[in-house]
């Protein structure tokens, strides 16, 4: 799905969710349900999944709609970057995942890194906050997501796979393996190397 179409569909779904949260008028409920159905049909047309399944996903979301937060840790050792091999698709990514309620951003990324790779880390820098919908991540995702990338330093632990990961390895900049592009893109990996080499770089955003 084209990035703009995906953004429109996400906005429609969010408006429907927020509207359903605050209205008790049966006619407005019907209209918001219809808007949510249209958003699902738009995503289905763009290859985002079956409309019926997407509507069920949307129904599971309650309250005022806000972006979800995905955190990623850029961990280096001897000039190489840590990547984990995803069990779901067999491709590589920076360790990370959803931020949990109750965690600060640095706590969230630290937890994800140790869970997926076995390495304990200290968060040194926020490198980037990117809007997933504005970049070429595939496949499309039904919700609006902010992706936060942190530079991290190893403080302990050792390489260890998990229920989510099949491999844990460090890679040179010119030897990056096939990436799980729903999670991380080649330009983002390159940018993490630049932040690693020059910590004075400003945080990237949007």
Contact 121, 73 (CB under 8 A): yes
Q: Which residues pair with 128 in a beta bridge?
A: 149, 204
Q: Quote the percentage of the chain above a pLDDT of 90.
A: 71
More confident residue, 40 or 5: 40
pLDDT in tens, 84-119: 999 999 999 999 999 998 999 999 999 999 999 999
User: How far apart, in whole angstroms, are the C-alpha atoms of residue 168 and residue 157?
Assistant: 13
pLDDT in tens, 171-196: 999 999 999 999 999 999 999 999 99
**Confidence at 51, pLDDT banded by 50, 70, 90:** low
pLDDT at 3 over 70: no
* Domain boundary assignment for the chain: 3-59, 68-205
Neighbours of 111 (CB within 10 A): 18
CA 160, chain centre distance (Å) = 22
Fold of 68-205: Nucleoside Triphosphate Pyrophosphohydrolase (3.90.79)
User: How far apart, in whole angstroms, are the C-alpha atoms of residue 87 and residue 112?
Assistant: 15
What's the burial of 103, exposed, middle or buried (CB within 10 Å: 0-12/13-18/19+)? middle
Q: What is the pLDDT of residue 48?
A: 60
pLDDT at 146 over 80: yes
Over residues 50-77, the mean pLDDT reads 85
């Amino acid at each position: 799905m084209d990035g703009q179409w995906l953004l429109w569909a996400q906005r429609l779904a969010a408006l429907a969710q927020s509207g359903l949260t605050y209205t008790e008028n049966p006619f407005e409920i019907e209209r918001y349900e219809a808007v949510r159905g249209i958003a699902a049909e738009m995503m289905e047309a763009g290859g985002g999944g079956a409309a019926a399944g997407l509507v069920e996903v949307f129904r599971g979301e309650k309250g005022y709609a806000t972006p979800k937060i995905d955190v990623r840790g850029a961990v280096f050792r001897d000039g190489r970057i840590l990547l984990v091999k995803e069990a779901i698709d067999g491709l590589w990514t920076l360790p990370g995942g959803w931020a949990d309620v109750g965690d600060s951003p640095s706590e969230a990324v630290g937890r994800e890194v140790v869970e997926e790779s076995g390495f304990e880390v200290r968060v040194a820098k926020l490198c980037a906050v990117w809007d997933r919908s504005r970049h070429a991540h595939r496949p499309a995702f039904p919700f609006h997501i902010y992706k936060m990338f942190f530079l991290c330093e190893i403080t302990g632990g050792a390489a260890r796979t998990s229920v989510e990961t099949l491999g844990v390895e460090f890679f040179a900049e010119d030897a990056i393996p096939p990436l799980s592009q729903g999670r991380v893109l080649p330009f983002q990996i390159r940018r993490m190397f630049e932040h690693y080499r020059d910590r004075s770089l400003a945080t990237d955003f949007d």
